[in-house]
Structure 1
């Protein structure tokens, strides 16, 4: 549970700026790829914790964005071959799917496939991602600008009201924030 959201939201805004600079990065070492991976995972973990802690509005938590999604082909996707994901998905049969901020966070946090897309070894433009559950069916492509927008949106989102409703069935409060 996050009690004071301000430092976390400020960190999200800092991470958004760092990731935005990755558009112009031209050299990619193992160290810079590690740093990128760390920034992405920490940022998305922070977003999910802020959502779980009701530190953003319900509207933002459930906001959806359109992502490219590619179907798995006939080849079996396993722990031993998922690093060869371009062979395992039909990258020419892309569709779009609306997915919530919450679900994007989960795709990254539970990812079996995480691959930054840096065409021609130049600028980072996005990520191929699939959670351990989704990988058997589909692969998502998330543009870098979507992650930057998510971090900025959550970093600048401060609910003005909370409503608590007690559930006798669950013996717990349901929190709605707006």
Structure 2
């Protein structure tokens, strides 16, 4: 359990800044690729840890991440071909989609298919392709840099003022943290049942 979420949040804000800088970097090296992958993995792990520890607000817990979804072409990804995205997925027909935060994190952390992408027009880093081992047979997700930066800044900049122990529909208990606005609304009796459960 995370007792102090501030170091995790601070790291998310630093990752957001670095990813944003990388999206305008002209000279790209192997080290650049390593830094981007490290930062994306670190941020996904931090977000998942904060979610599991109940250190995000109800509104953020229910938030989604905008991505593009590409359907599989029917070729099974394996150790030898998983980098051949054009052969595995229909990259010409992206479908706008939204990933729940936990699924977003899992696609990155458990990525079986992974690829850093550059914009064809500018040549600049514009996002990553990722699919977990569980999902890679059906689809791959393209996560734009902006989506990653936005979610890191949202969670990194969130000020938590309190927390509540809630129960989902099955009766399982979990902690949800509250922002100042949510604490004040709860005091006034404005908050309804938890929208997540």
TM over 0.5: yes
Worse overlay, 73-82 or 101-110? 73-82
CA distance in 1, matches of 2:167, 2:71: 41
How far does residue 143 in structure 1 lie from its aligned partner after superposition?
0.5
Q: Which has the higher helix share?
A: 1
Q: Which residue of structure 1 lines up, in the alignment, with residue 23 of structure 2?
A: 23
Confirm or deny: 8 A CA contact 1:25 1:122 kept in the other structure.
no
Q: Does 1:64 align with 2:64?
A: yes
What are the equivalent positions in structure 2 for 1:5-154 lying under 5 Å apart? 5-119=5-119, 122-154=123-155
- Kept in 1, the 8 Å contact 2:72–2:138? The answer is yes
Q: How many residues align?
A: 176
CA contact (8 A) 1:55 1:158 kept: no
Distance in structure 2 (CA, Å) of the matches to 1:15 and 1:165: 31
Q: 2:78 aligns to what SS in structure 1?
A: coil
Which region of structure 1 is more displaced relative to structure 2, 113-122 or 129-138?
113-122
Local SS of the residue matching 2:70 = strand
Inter-CA distance 92–166: structure 2 relative to 1 (3 Å threshold): closer
Would the aligned equivalents of 2:54 and 2:174 in 1 still touch at CA under 8 Å? no
Q: CA RMSD in A?
A: 2.0
TM-score by length of 2: 0.82
TM-score, with length taken from structure 1: 0.90
Determine the structure 2 residue equivalent to 1:155: 156
CA distance in 2, matches of 1:149, 1:166: 29
**Mean alpha-carbon deviation: is it higher for 53-62 or for 129-138?**
53-62
Measure, in 2, the Cα distance between the counterparts of 1:177 and 1:5. Answer: 11
Contact 1:27/1:122, CA 8 A, preserved across alignment? no
* Cα displacement string for residues 3-35 of structure 1 (whole angstroms, at most 9, x for unaligned residues): 111111111111111111012101111111111
Runs of 5+ unmatched residues, structure 1: none
Displacement after TM superposition at 1:74 (Å): 2.1
Where does structure 2 lack aligned partners over 5 or more consecutive residues?
Answer: 179-197
Shift of the 98–166 alpha-carbon distance from structure 1 to 2, 3 Å rule, reads closer
- The whole-number CA distance in structure 2 between the counterparts of 1:176 and 1:29 is 41
Q: What CA distance in whole angstroms lies between the structure 1 residues aligned with 2:61 and 2:153?
A: 13
